[in-house]
Amino acid sequence: MSALHVRPTEAELAEFRERVRAHIAEHAPPFEAREGHRAPENGEQEALLRTWFASLFDAGFVGADWPVEYGGRADHHPLHDRIVSEEILRARAPRPVDQVNLAAHVLLHFGSDEQKSALLPPIRSSEHVWCQLLSEPDAGSDIAAVRCKGTQRPDGSWVIDGQKTWITDGHWADMGLALIRTDPTSSRHRGLSAFIVPLASPGIEIRPIRTINEAIEVNEVFFDDVTIPPDSLIGEPGQGWSIIMTGLDFERFGIGGNVILLELLIDDLVTVARHGRIDDMPALQHADVRHQVAELAVEVEVAKAFIDDHVERLVAGNEQTGDGSIAKLSFAETYHRVSAYGAQLSTMVCTVAADPDVALAKQRLKECWLWSRAYTVSGGSSEMMRNILAKRRLLLPTH
């Protein structure tokens, strides 16, 4: 995202936005995206999702920031990415898989020429969906506490043993980006290496975890003498921590960039408050409800303002340390507060049973609330984000 890129005019951005909207209208799958239900529920949905994601790459709306030789666009500008994200979210169309973005940027920045040539085209065609194999039992968001081990054989191949957990999309992903401890004498972030792991490899067992909203989004993944070839290693042995941290910076800003989801949440909250009734009057006419909705709407605007400011800094080449963590933290915590209040209000109001808009808004708020804690944990918990900001942004002492 170079500052040397010429900023498009407002007319050019408006024309680009119209092209994105037209593409979504023509190619998006015939079902609405649901929070906490992003993974396909059957083979038909999976085929539709893969076709949809591939169409976004083909049209130059996703992956446009890649180098041109790998499919990117020479006229790409960071504001294009913002528009694509906004329009997909506003259309309630399925969003591209976050883990694919993480894997692509890791490969582009740290992969060998051979790895890029072999693995980037299947990402663009959606032949390969990726997951990230980071979290482990008893470690939570502390991904430095990796125990899953990798041992190199004399022929250069690696054998992986251990367990990963809370692996988003693992049950339908084709490839995994894994953080493995390759130095048994090391601890914490030292001695870790990053690997490409085909999930169809012998010795891998995937066990889906059903979430509180009765969906399968995350999984346990077990490795039992899983052998992968020498060229599965990304970068050098022991470089895994820096590789994954660089990749997660992209993912954390991607999560924070979903602030349009917050606007949609507010829309649903207002729908319920305006049409639901408490004590035989619209809920929004009650002062406490009106004040709470207003406060949450202000929080959403604050989160959105930070993202807008950060995008402008990216355009100017002035991004600051920790911006990705702030974006992720701001989005995740605001999402939880808005959806929690929306779910609570939905149980308090009386609505006309035949009003489908209100019923759908209440369903969305409930599903968002049930999924909201996942956002405060995935990609690094809110506590970890605060720690990162304390160390990197505020330069506070670590002891």
Active site residues: 251
H helices then E strands: how many in the chain? Answer: 11, 10
> For the CA atoms of 290, 293, 294, 298, what is the dihedral angle to 10 degrees?
170
Distances (CA, A) of 211 to 95, 369, 387: 20, 13, 28
Of 170, 144, 147, 149, nearest to 160 by C-alpha is 149
Q: Classify strands 130-133 and 175-181 as parallel, antiparallel or unpaired.
A: parallel
In sequence order, the 6+-apart residues with CB closer than 8 A to the CB of 391 are 398
Rounded to the nearest angstrom, the gap between the alpha carbon of residue 341 and the centroid of all alpha carbons in its chain is: 23
Determine the Cα–Cα distance for residues 176 and 165; give it in Å rounded to an integer.
Answer: 13
Determine the Cα–Cα distance for residues 266 and 263; give it in Å rounded to an integer.
Answer: 5
